[in-house]
């Protein structure tokens, strides 16, 4: 018999997709170097095509020069607030996930003072001092971790309404001489979560979560390092990753976290309508989800469970999951739609190395 219970419910979502399109063709004029600062002699067009085959990325989005990470995060936040219909002054917390803060175009210096959350609160013109604004640094899983933190505060009765934002301008911390620079993009996604009274069985809300940090040999799989260009300034740092090691790590540990999350929700993979996984690499994401289904003895992964926008938007780190969710939720991704009562799973992996997952009923 169902009863009424309080759950953390997403009441509004929003995203900002930057207007500047950077296609794969734009990279065919680049000179690429390896980690030993040796020029890669393979024709750049061949390098780019191989990249597309592996990652699925054909285009990515960059923010205009005059927009910072906090600016695009504000646009996504306004979108979510508008849909929720709440008074921004009623927010108890603003949680903003990112990795590099504001980075002024043509530099790669991070600016995180004041916090991006405080800047977004300022941009939204929220005067309420009891609306606490703070940042989360958790690698690419940052937005999901922000959602998990908001859920904890709501359940504890400390907050009733929270804004969770994931925003990033990775295009400003990339080494253009590194093949991996083609993966990264800019973007922002956001949601409003509220503590609401819902049906205990079929009511909307967060059902469970799981998080993990692996920081022994894995800790520097993603880090900041020198440019691969032999004559670069050694004082400058750019985002670097050990792609093969991340791929192998993710295939083992991400499915395990997703399964743990489902078990905590007392749900089965067969109950899941859709999986919103961090848009890092098409083949890696497909392999992760395939391994999850295999853990339940299912050999074939239903294509209808895996929405993707990486082909056109690239990897915008903390913004990929909320942007993808907002797009599908609002019926803007062909072939994918959600209905009241559907069970979905959010999951991500990134620098730290951190992993997390959230089970949510629409």
Kindly list the catalytic residues: 140, 278, 315
CA gap 221, 214 in Å, rounded: 11
Task: Choose among 328, 313, 333: nearest CA to 168.
Answer: 313
Give the closest residue to 27 by CA, choosing from 226, 240, 171, 156. 171
CB 275, CB 305: distance < 8 Å: yes
């Amino acid at each position: 018999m169902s009863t009424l219970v309080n759950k953390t419910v997403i009441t509004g979502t929003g995203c900002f997709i930057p207007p500047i399109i950077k296609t794969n063709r734009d990279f065919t004029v680049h000179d690429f170097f390896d980690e030993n600062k040796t020029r890669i002699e393979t024709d750049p067009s061949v390098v780019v095509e191989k990249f597309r085959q592996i990652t699925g990325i054909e285009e990515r989005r960059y923010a205009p020069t005059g927009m910072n990470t906090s600016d695009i995060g504000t646009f996504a936040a306004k979108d979510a607030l508008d849909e929720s219909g709440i008074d921004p002054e009623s927010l108890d917390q603003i949680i903003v996930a990112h990795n590099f803060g504001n980075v002024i175009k043509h530099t790669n210096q991070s600016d995180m003072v004041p916090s991006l959350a405080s800047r977004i609160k300022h941009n939204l013109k929220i005067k309420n001092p009891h609306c606490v604004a703070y940042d989360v640094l958790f690698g690419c899983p940052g937005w999901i971790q922000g959602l998990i933190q908001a859920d904890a505060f709501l359940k504890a009765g400390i907050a009733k309404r929270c804004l969770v934002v994931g925003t990033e301008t990775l295009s400003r911390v990339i080494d253009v001489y590194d093949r991996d620079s083609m993966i990264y993009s800019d973007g922002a996604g956001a949601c409003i979560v509220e503590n609401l009274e819902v049906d205990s069985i079929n009511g909307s809300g967060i059902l469970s979560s799981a998080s993990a940090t692996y920081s022994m040999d894995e800790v520097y799989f993603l880090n900041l390092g020198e440019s691969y260009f032999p004559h670069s300034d050694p004082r400058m740092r750019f985002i670097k990753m050990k792609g093969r090691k991340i791929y192998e790590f993710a295939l083992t540990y991400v499915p395990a976290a997703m399964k743990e999350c489902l078990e905590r929700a007392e749900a089965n993979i067969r109950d899941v309508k859709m999986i919103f996984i961090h848009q890092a690499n098409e083949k890696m994401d497909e392999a992760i989800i395939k391994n999850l289904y295999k853990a339940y003895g299912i050999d074939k992964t239903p294509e209808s469970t895996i929405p993707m926008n990486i082909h056109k938007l690239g990897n915008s780190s903390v913004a990929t999951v909320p942007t993808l969710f907002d797009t599908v939720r609002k019926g803007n991704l062909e072939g994918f739609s959600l209905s009241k009562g559907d069970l979905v799973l959010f999951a991500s992996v990134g620098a730290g190395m951190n992993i997390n997952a959230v089970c949510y009923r629409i």
